[in-house]
Amino acid sequence: MSTHAHAHDVHHGADHGHDAHHHEPGFWTKYVFSCDHKVIGIQYGVTALVFLLFGFFLMLMMRWQIAHPGQPIPFVGGLLHMVVGEAAPAVKDETTGAILGYMMSPDLYNSFGAMHGTIMVFLAIVPLAFAAFGNYVVPLQIGAPDMCFPRINMASFHVFFWGGVVMLASFFLPGGAAQAGWTSYSPLATVIPTMGQTFWLIGMVLLITSSLLGAVNFIATIIQLRAPGMTWMRLPFFVWAQFVTAFILLLAFPPLEAAGIMQLMDKVFHTSFFLPTGLMISGQIASVDGQPISGGGSPLLWQHLFWFLGHPEVYVLILPAMGIVSEIIANNTRKPLWGYRSLVYSALAVGFLSFIVWAHHMYLTGMGTKISAFFQTTTMIISIPSVIILTCLFITLWGGSIRFNTPMLFALAFLPMFGIGGLTGLPLGFNFSDLQLHDTYYVIAHFHYVVAPGTIFGLLAGIYYWYPKMTGRYMSEFWGKVHFWCSLVFMNLVFQPMFAQGMAGMHRRMYDGAATYAGVLDPATGEVVGLSEAIIGMNKGITWAAVGLGLAQIPFIINFFYSVRNGKKVESDNPWEATTLEWQTPTPPPHGNFAHPVEVVRGPYEYSVPGEAADFSLQGQEVKGAQPQPAHH
């Protein structure tokens, strides 16, 4: 052995087919500071999943408080008290004074609420849907060796990571994390005297910067690095979805960055960008440094700038999932997507229209009738392309040879779940009905339906689908199905009742689960005024369903890690017999992705083409006479 020590290249694995003087990158370069889009995609994915779990735990603690206001939180109450001190005060036995446990103070509840939203949207879903799946799959699906700007790609992950650290660090500050909702409205966000909001703003600036860098990379990559023959109309719909998403991020995030800078100025330098003249806090004129603030600012300005991003942001959350679901449905029905052109134009329309609907989040701010009519109109119009996309996917199922594997189950469930979410958005889009429903649990149910059994199901489908390409092994089908059915049932049990609660008038962001508004008998009229017992009683059922939902994720987490080493090995590089280019790479794809240069010769969904031998035709083929590409750094 030792006589050949200097000829180490002979013993290298297959993906290093080149000459001797190449140095294997060290751990840090390979796993932490990698410029390879696949490594970066996995970094984003794992980090995002950890944040997703953390956001889920925040919600579980909140849900316990909602269902059992004033009661100690089981299991974690003591731990909570250790971390946040008096923000989790003791619950004492009335007679003996003994400490029964710890509950959340209203301020802590508010901060969990604000951070749950922030973490789920900006640290979990967007990084997972856009950055993780996009980074891993898009260059493979367009036939590119990597992203256009690999070093910027690495930078964007690290900026995201530190943004996340800043956000999480805010929990440990005296006074805790941000408390004014994920929407961070001024003046409340500015006048709360703790540092949590400042950290939130700094974290947001970092996260926005990371997204902007990523968006530039995605757009440039999709435009410039498509393989020969990959015309625009031969792109898989997933790539189109990511392209539109990147555009939305690029153009909608900067106004929030501007607003974030202004709110930071308000907090740190005591400006009054969003603080109106004559603002009173606790009966006193708002003051800093022993004198009144300048005033002259506009709280509405924050709302306009926030929702200018906030609305396009929700399309950032849904489009990648629609893309993933489309790929899986085509593959598992053995049919091309129905209405490919409609899908593409609808995605473009959704992206475009998403920029001019934002004030439907602001109907209750005293808007005039003309501008309100404008935003109601655009909001109604934007529902059309969304429905077109859903319809095309439904029609694709007709006459298909459906394979009910785990990714397909999640993808199929996405369709009605997103349908419910979308349809329930319609009353919110009209200001006359929004008057009743704004800021109630109806809104919570609506947006969670689109994001939770909507987007998250799409992302889970994507994990099960692309896992074999990333690792060379399948995840367990049995446990995948257990995960799916339990999640589906519990998701609906959690969010369905919230529609009823919202329509009855139960408001959002109440730390005691609306116990304050429980129905009381009005002696004068003999009527019960307030929320009925049934409505408030739903809180308990919802909380148990949320616990069930959490438990349902355990098989998934175990499956995810266990299958890396012990899952059933794939039979080929293309275990799902799919047509798109990522399945023509070795498993897992090496640095540089394709063993041979490819050119694209047909569309992305050539399944069940009459006259062909197999029921699918690969999109690309090797370029004739090309040399195998050496994979090196």
Partner 1 sequence: MGDSHHSPEEIKKHMKLYLAVFGGLLLGTLITVALYYIYFVQFWKTVAVALLVATIKATLVAAFFMHLSNEKKTIYRFLLVTVFFFAGMMGLTLWAYADHTMLK
Partner 2 sequence: MEIPFTAKPRQDTGLYNAKLGIWLFLASEVMLFGALFSSYIVLRLGADAGMWPHGLMNIPIGTFNTAVLIISSVTVVLAWSYLKLGDFKKYKFFQSITLLCAAGFVGIKSFEYREKWHHYEVWFKEPLTLEQQPGLAGHAFHADNERRQIRQGQIPSLIGHFNYGHHEHAGYFWTLGTLKEKKITEIEFQPDQFHYRIPARIQAEMKKDGKAPEKPAPIKIKVEDIKRLSAFVPAHSTFFAIYFTLTFLHALHVVGGAIVIAWIWGPGAALWKTDPERYTNRVEVSGLFWHFVDLVWIFLFPILYLL
Rounded to whole angstroms, the Cα distance separating 426 from 41 reads 35
Taking CB under 8 A as the criterion, the residue among 294, 342, 492, 621 binding partner 2 is 294
The 246-265 contact track toward partner 1, x by CB under 8 A, reads -x---x---x----------
Nearest to 348 by CA among 217, 459, 216, 246: 246
Residue 374 contact, options partner 2, partner 1, none, Cβ 5-8 Å cut-off depending on partner type = partner 1
By the rule CB under 8 A, 169 interacts with partner 1: no
Taking CB under 8 A as the criterion, the residue among 54, 130, 308, 414 binding partner 2 is 308
* Amino acid code (one letter) for 61: M
By the rule CB under 8 A, 74 interacts with partner 2: no
Residue 289 contact, options partner 2, partner 1, none, Cβ 5-8 Å cut-off depending on partner type = partner 2
**Which token pair is 436?**
């009743």
Rounded to whole angstroms, the Cα distance separating 494 from 497 reads 7
Do the Cβ atoms of 620 and 351 come closer than 8 Å?
no
CB count, 10 Å around CB of 126?
Answer: 25
**What Å distances lie between residue 314 and 115, 130, 149, 348, 368, CA to CA?**
17, 12, 27, 15, 25
By the rule CB under 8 A, 251 interacts with partner 2: yes
By the rule CB under 8 A, 218 interacts with partner 1: no
DSSP single-letter state for residue 37: H
DSSP character string of 202-218: HHHHHHHHHHHHHHHHH
By the rule CB under 8 A, 370 interacts with partner 1: yes
Taking CB under 8 A as the criterion, the residue among 222, 359, 445, 600 binding partner 1 is 359
Q: Which stretch binds partner 1 (CB under 8 A): 109-117, 203-211, 368-376, 398-406?
A: 368-376
Show the 3-state SS of 237-292: HHHHHHHHHHHHHHHHHHHHHHHHHHHHHHHHCCCCCCCCCCCEECCEECEECCEE
* Amino acid code (one letter) for 478: F
* Cα dihedral 517→518→524→525 (10° resolution): 110
In the complex with partner 2, the residue whose CB is nearer, 309 or 542, is 309
Rounded to whole angstroms, the Cα distance separating 218 from 138 reads 8
Residue 367 contact, options partner 2, partner 1, none, Cβ 5-8 Å cut-off depending on partner type = partner 1
Show the 3-state SS of 122-164: HHHHHHHHHHHHHHHHHHHHHCCCCCCCHHHHHHHHHHHHHHH
Nearest approach, Cβ of residue 147 and partner 2 (Å): 8
In the complex with partner 2, the residue whose CB is nearer, 67 or 235, is 235
Rounded to whole angstroms, the Cα distance separating 576 from 584 reads 12
Residues between 174 and 213 with contacts to partner 2, criterion CB under 8 A: 212
Residue 105 contact, options partner 2, partner 1, none, Cβ 5-8 Å cut-off depending on partner type = none
By the rule CB under 8 A, 623 interacts with partner 2: no
Q: Which stretch binds partner 2 (CB under 8 A): 116-124, 186-194, 248-256, 438-446?
A: 248-256
Rounded to whole angstroms, the Cα distance separating 245 from 348 reads 10
Q: Which stretch binds partner 2 (CB under 8 A): 79-87, 271-279, 320-328, 342-350?
A: 271-279
Residues whose CB falls within 8 Å of the CB of residue 190, separated by 6 or more in sequence, listed in order: 197, 263, 266, 267, 274, 275
Nearest approach, Cβ of residue 382 and partner 1 (Å): 14
By the rule CB under 8 A, 259 interacts with partner 2: yes
Q: Which stretch binds partner 2 (CB under 8 A): 161-169, 186-194, 295-303, 545-553?
A: 295-303
In the complex with partner 2, the residue whose CB is nearer, 222 or 392, is 222
By the rule CB under 8 A, 265 interacts with partner 2: yes
- From first CA to last CA, the distance across the chain in angstroms is 28
In the complex with partner 1, the residue whose CB is nearer, 277 or 621, is 277
Taking CB under 8 A as the criterion, the residue among 33, 403, 592, 623 binding partner 2 is 592
Nearest to 459 by CA among 127, 220, 129, 202: 129
Using CB atoms within 10 Å of the CB of residue 184, give its burial: 0 to 12 exposed, 13 to 18 middle, 19+ buried: buried
Nearest approach, Cβ of residue 212 and partner 1 (Å): 13
By the rule CB under 8 A, 66 interacts with partner 2: no
- Kindly give the interhelix angle for 533-566 and 457-471, rounded to the nearest 10 degrees: 10
Residue 215 contact, options partner 1, partner 2, none, Cβ 5-8 Å cut-off depending on partner type = partner 2
Taking CB under 8 A as the criterion, the residue among 91, 281, 314, 367 binding partner 1 is 367
By the rule CB under 8 A, 374 interacts with partner 1: yes
By the rule CB under 8 A, 544 interacts with partner 1: no
Number of residues this chain uses to bind partner 2 (CB under 8 A): 53
In the complex with partner 2, the residue whose CB is nearer, 265 or 415, is 265
In the complex with partner 1, the residue whose CB is nearer, 105 or 298, is 298
By the rule CB under 8 A, 304 interacts with partner 1: yes
Rounded to whole angstroms, the Cα distance separating 388 from 437 reads 26
Using CB atoms within 10 Å of the CB of residue 277, give its burial: 0 to 12 exposed, 13 to 18 middle, 19+ buried: middle
In the complex with partner 2, the residue whose CB is nearer, 267 or 448, is 267
By the rule CB under 8 A, 342 interacts with partner 2: no
Sign of CA dihedral 114, 120, 124, 127: negative
Q: Can you give the binding site for partner 1, defined by CB under 8 A?
A: 223, 247, 251, 255, 276, 298, 300-301, 304, 308, 352, 355-356, 359, 362, 365-371, 374
Q: Can you give the binding site for partner 2, defined by CB under 8 A?
A: 145-146, 148-150, 152, 212, 215-217, 219-220, 223-225, 250-255, 257-259, 261-262, 265, 269-273, 277, 288-294, 296-298, 301, 305, 308, 591-592, 629-633
